[in-house]
Structure 1
Amino acid sequence: MIEASLAGRRAFILENTRLQAPPHTPELQLHLADEITPIWTLTEEALAEIGLPPPFWAFAWAGGQALARYVLDHPEVVAGKRVIDFASGSGLVAIAAMKAGAASVLAADIDVFCEAAIGLNAAANGVEVAFTEVDLLEAPPLPAEVLLAGDICYERPMAEAVMAWLGLGRAAGATVLVGDPGRTYFPKEGLVKLAEYQVPTTRELEDMAVKRTSVWTLP
């Protein structure tokens, strides 16, 4: 088991990942794992808990890579604005937003390892990202001008809850951007496609080495 503290989780991440550039955002560096099963098993052993969800924080998923690429290429979307990155994972999208000139970014994720991972990754890229482990779906969106969400449609209940929450944010005036590589439960209607990318990934994570991945907005 690891020390049950932020410092202990940081040490675990540093020991079991390596600093590398996601293929679709080569200007950024993240502490990432190379294989999913070993890091998943190590995480369960470290927390003495079986049946944990995958360590999303340890990988640069296709939807997040596409969304980060879009933000970096279109900095006007976030420049000078307050941003929330929902289900932030590694912090890839949050870091891209800060690099693109966001006034502030709040990265939100309920995984206990994400605070450590995002802190390390933000530092590796010379930015500061705030973090919350509060489940944001339990309340209306916090005040923000931009809501970002990548790879949030793995399961139907989660996809429906997140899209409803993002809809509330859009109704309150926020710009909403979603990155998705064609997940089963991604809604087929009600969004507008902004961009499409061929995102290099790995068969460790996906069913193909390159995923056609799109960035969408709520009109």
Structure 2
Amino acid sequence: MDGLQLSCARLVPEVRLFLAEDPTILWARLEASAGHRISAPFWATAWGGGQAVARYILDAPETVAGRRVLDLGSGSGLVAIAAALAGASVVVANDIDPYAHTAIRANARVNGVHIDPLSTDLLDLTPEAVLDIGADVVLAGDACYTDQLAERALPFLLMAARLDTLVLVGDPGRGRIPSRDWQVVMTYPVSPMSGEDSQLTAASVLTPRNQDARR
């Protein structure tokens, strides 16, 4: 599609992605093609939180190797692809945007890995129901980019951790993830993004307190 180019995120040069040359222009083109309003193409940007989680699991593959992984709010599929490259046995990439599913399939194909897209809004389910999917590890590269989403995602992720699921979350420092519940595993420098993220230059990988990120 015009407006996308195959490139690599700064922190994760091992993974190639179809990313927007200009997200605003791409959004306008997609809406013109669809003939109606659509969600912003978040799947066409390698967000800082996702880059941090992807970098971490590629550097510490034992976190996912041989395990069944769920990538919550997958977007481009960056984190899911990194999990597959790190040796996960099964990777499910969850996103409610149908355009994201197309991007995930294309990006997985160009990286030579298999990803299973899932469109269900998992935040409407209980963590027990999600565990029925068979996830040993839940990854959320950038699931708290609005207050409303953070209010839904964070309790869900903490409950999943209490059910003995390994949970890793990316946080570019937007201030929506309370330190009382989460601890920093690793922090990486990232290139500033546009809009709200223009002043953010680092992203961290977080895990719930009292959880061993490499268990």
TM-score, normalised relative to structure 2 = 0.90
Structure 1 position 64 matched with structure 2 position 46:
no
Cα contact 2:69–2:138 (8 A) shared by 1: yes
| Residue 17 (1) aligns with residue 8 (2) | no
Alignment of 1:139-178 (within 5 A): 139-141=125-127, 142-143=130-131, 144-178=135-169
Deviation of 1:202 (Å)? 4.1
Partner of 2:60: 74
Q: Tell me the equivalent position of 1:9.
A: none
The separation in 2 between residues aligned to 1:193 and 1:184, in whole angstroms, is 13
| Residue from 19, 29, 34 that aligns with 1:32 | 19
Unaligned runs of 5+ in 1: 1-13
| Cα distance, 1:204 vs structure 2 | 6.8
Distance 2:15 2:192 in 1: 16
Structure 2 counterpart SS, 1:185: coil
Determine the structure 2 residue equivalent to 1:215. 205
Aligned to 1:53: 39
Task: Give the alignment partner of residue 101 of structure 2, picking from 115, 118, 125.
Answer: 115
Contact 1:36 1:204 in 2 (8 A): no
Deviations 1:128-148 (A, max 9, x none): 000111100111232211000
Aligned to 1:134: 120
**Alignment counterpart, residue 70 of structure 2, candidates 84, 89, 111:** 84
168, 186, 192: which is aligned to 2:183? 192
TM-score by length of 1: 0.88
Q: CA deviation at 1:156?
A: 1.6
Q: Is the 8 A contact 1:85 1:93 kept in 2?
A: yes
Unpaired runs of 5+ residues, structure 2, are none
Count of paired positions? 204
* Offset, 1:85: 0.2
Q: Provide, for residues 65-114 of structure 1, a one-character-per-residue CA deviation record: whole Å limited to 9, x for no partner.
A: 01100010000000000000000000000000000000011000001101
Identity of aligned residues (%): 42
Structure 1 position 179 matched with structure 2 position 179 = no
Distance 1:80 1:201 in 2: 34
**RMSD of aligned residue pairs (Cα, Å):** 1.5
Where 2:167 maps in the other structure, the secondary structure is strand
- Amino acid paired to 1:164: P
- AA matched with 1:190: D
